[in-house]
Amino acid sequence: MRKRLLTLSLVIAAALGVFRGELARAFLQYGLNQATDDLFARTIQISKVHLDWKGRVRIESLKARLRAASGPIPLEVRSISSKNSFLRAFSDRGLALNFEGVHLQDSQREGVSGEARIRMGREERFELQADILSLGLEEIRWISPEHLAGSSGEIQGKVTLQSKASGAILLEVQLRVREPGGRISARFFDLLLPYLPQIGSSERVAEIRAAGGLVGFHDASLALSWKDSDRIKIFLHILVPDYNLDLNVNTEIRMDEKNSFSELAEIFGLINQKG
């Protein structure tokens, strides 16, 4: 993370401090592709770059393909703009960036918008506040195609991420699919079997799995908290009226502290799982 942030800052400074217009766009695109090759496999494409006299930068229409265990995911960002000069990345306040319209390419939903802050130097820090305005459940099926295939419903929520030079990471995720809900694959419930809290719930989940196909749900929410490097706390709620199932799962996943970030990437389908 630290090496990537430093590289990104130097790329922005070089591209915008030396070049203008099309040269700045081409140079910045090249630098971003070099710096994020492990995430986007050098597929980033930028339509336009603007720089004002205060050193504030605006990127319009960035497209890329995110590496994932299930295959490349085509993403699009409508715009990224800095609230202050790109040189602020090396100050105490850091470089503040607004981003809008992060979604799958060709999606008609609002996607994700928010703010990121990058601070370089001895007290390096990265902060992200993201608002999920509207994403389709079908847009995140790549996280686990086996368990989410055919699923649908509108997701809203918030994501908070903080990363420090010490390696400490804080991640908070709040997701909600409100009524009228949507449909979800019966195989999704395979993931919950080890964590089911009640005998009654286990029996109804067994019925859903036996029926197979897609089941309708009216309400669902997920809360994920990663404050300790060796554990993630997860709370899941889902209401399935056809099976009289009002399921609440509250669990904790233990992680290898030294490899916690890569294990989290596995959970979110960003790298191939072990074994």
Task: State the pLDDT at residue 19.
Answer: 54
* H helix or E strand, kind and range, residue 155: strand 154-164
Are both 83 and 164 inside the same structural domain? no
Buried b (16+ CB within 10 A) or exposed e, 158-188: ebebebbbeeebebebbbbbeeebbebbbbb
Banded model confidence at residue 119, pLDDT cuts 50, 70, 90: confident
Q: Total domain count for the chain?
A: 2
Q: Is the pLDDT of residue 218 over 70?
A: yes
Q: DSSP readout, 94-144?
A: -EEEEEEEEEETT--S-EEEEEEEEE-STT-EEEEEEEEEEEEGGGGGGG-
Average pLDDT over residues 31-45: 87
Q: Sorting pLDDT into bands at 50, 70 and 90, what band is 74?
A: very high
Give the end of a domain, one of 77, 101, 123.
Answer: 123
What is the predicted pLDDT for the residue at 274? 41
* Mean pLDDT over each residue of the chain, to the nearest integer: 82
Q: pLDDT: is 145 or 45 the higher one?
A: 45
Question: Does residue 116 share a domain with residue 26?
Answer: yes
The answer to whether residues 85 and 180 belong to one domain is no
Q: What confidence tens digit (pLDDT) does each residue in 81-94 have? A: 998 887 777 777 88
On whether both 216 and 153 belong to a single domain, the answer is yes
Query: Which residue among 123, 149, 179 closes a domain?
Result: 123
**Which of 123, 148, 178 is the last residue before a domain boundary?**
123
Per-residue model confidence (pLDDT) at position 266: 54
Same domain, 258 and 269: yes
Residues 113 and 173 in one domain: no
Q: Check whether residue 133 and residue 97 sit in a common domain.
A: no
Note whether 187 and 94 are same-domain residues.
no
Cα–chain-centroid distance for residue 258?
Answer: 22
Query: Is residue 71 domain-shared with residue 165, that is, in the same domain?
Result: no
Same structural domain for residues 129 and 38? no
pLDDT at 198: 60
List b or e across 12-31, with b for residues whose CB sees 16 or more CB atoms inside 10 angstroms: bbebbeebeeeebbebbbeb
Span 137-148, mean pLDDT?
89
Whether the pLDDT of residue 265 is over 80: the answer is: no
What value does the mean pLDDT take over residues 17-39? 75
Task: Please give the pLDDT value at position 85.
Answer: 81
Q: Which domain holds residue 14?
A: 1-123
Do 114 and 129 fall within a single domain? Answer: no
Cite the beta strand spans of 165-213 per DSSP E. Answer: 169-177, 182-185
pLDDT for 1: 53
Same domain, 183 and 218: yes
